[in-house]
Structure 1
């Protein structure tokens, strides 16, 4: 049933297969980006009934940290052909809101040959097409969001070089086979009942419920869904009446869903609802961190702007807590190594040198003042000492004379010997009889 739908081209309208001209192919795949898929992968493709140049679709799961490549089989349905661990993606679970929030996007995106970059500074890359119609309708901004090599990310999905070479080869071969664009489905996690129950209280839950409709359509049909946007939301596999179209910011037309898909989706949803109810009462791993909406995106965006200006900021971007407070690791600070960063560093060094010189000057002034105060204190002390000395009593000549005529002590008399006593007797006799 769904294979027939796929062959009619309705459900793969987003993956139109009109041929590319030779010029576009040689332009976007120059020498150096022609690494071929390993024979092991080619053998698996043959075993699964896949043509080497058949269309592809990419799926990304943040929490599971994987990129999957799905390839169309001869029956029109898709099956996974390769899975790669993501080397690095920046930000948290949740969509990208604004330029500089360092969030890797979530949603449904389209990649065309012109978005492939074999001369990327990150080995190889392709732009996933952010912002798409949904992002623009909701005022979300950002640019140059890639899947690329070099294992370095500031808002992209980064792989190691051998992985991006294979992913690039899958896309290149599909374009050569006539596919004009392929779909990238980027999700926070595999949208199972258990995972949705885990994140039911997350601020991004309503957005994820909307993405889940597209996820479910793919799970049911194994064909990339037709994606449109109206009333600022995604709609999947909807058929608008003749003469009407989907306006991203306008009212949705009275669209319909093909009956076979409607029936299959209803049965799928019934099973899901039961599993979800059961999962709520089951012990599951704690949810991972997710972005706290536009407020946190703005905080991180401001950090990115200051970092781009070469200012000294925290090494890791700030994070907003559930209570609205912001956490920053100020123990690890630095600035980006760039012309602006080096200029800011030079200005900081100049300011630091001026500050040190001023501190030294103030220290010298303080030392001179202290020395002056010390000398003044010493002078006052000397003056006070002289004053005290002048106020003390002085020994007079009379006192000295009195001391000289004072009777000799017994010890003194004894020390003078007999000669002294005779002399004294003579003096007495002379006094009595004249002398």
Structure 2
């Protein structure tokens, strides 16, 4: 007797997804509710749990196929849940051959199937996946793990190895990889923003001295009390909510021929995930303390890496903050996240000469960029918003007393 594996309900208005990865191979034992496949939707990856315990049967669809909600993607055969029968003993595979098999999961003896991108990376680099510690969910290998292992220096050999024969040809290679559903959605939405909004970007800079000093002074006490590290985003999110209250147009949106003003600040924060940037929302950020904001962002970052963010957590949002500075960006012109009307770009902090009280001094400076929809937000409002944000960051006491 077999039980069908069906695509679960994925969320409001989402009717289909792409099969991103099979987590179980045919013949492997499966426990009830154990993840057996992952689906890529427009926003996040969703794991498909096993409906019953048994043995993984044949796949009904392949990686990369588009599947509808409720569709059957495979079956689970009846069984007692015992481990799958071992394959006949064979000679140890070479690294490239091992790519088509399994890599050991971190911190345990249970093997985890390689995803297509990881398998491709192993084939291209020749790295033995059995020697790599996985950093993905449940210890699974990621493509970055393989590339990092390839770039890591080789251990010193007891005797020098023979130098490889030099390549004589100028071989040039190309690879075509289908865009993930998440990347397709990102591309569509960003292009839609450019085509719809009258986008303009205004810049300012901010002296980070006071925030850096406050962070250095209180970070240990802060972490001890709140259980989370004190970063810069907590200051910027809180300062942004204050500036948004003063300049409500920056927190508004256009719907048809109407302007919708919000008396709350739902701040979208861009965080990295294995599939690209995702933008979860800090709800009612205006009511949260810096500690509450930092806790929320830390939780988002961890779950984005694990692929466990929920779709509802990425809906809505009235204003976005994107921190390109963590990647070393000096300056950028961020793109609006529709239907929002503005996005704040943060950048790297670097020492620069500035004039203070007639003297040239060195200060840790950061460029700020506000991209906004000029149909709704005037230049005066954009500049006023940035100045209010700058004042709060340069004098964090303003944040404390809501000035």
User: Do they superpose with TM above 0.5?
Assistant: no
Larger Rg: 1
**TM value normalised by structure 1:** 0.18
Higher helix share: 1
**TM value normalised by structure 2:** 0.19
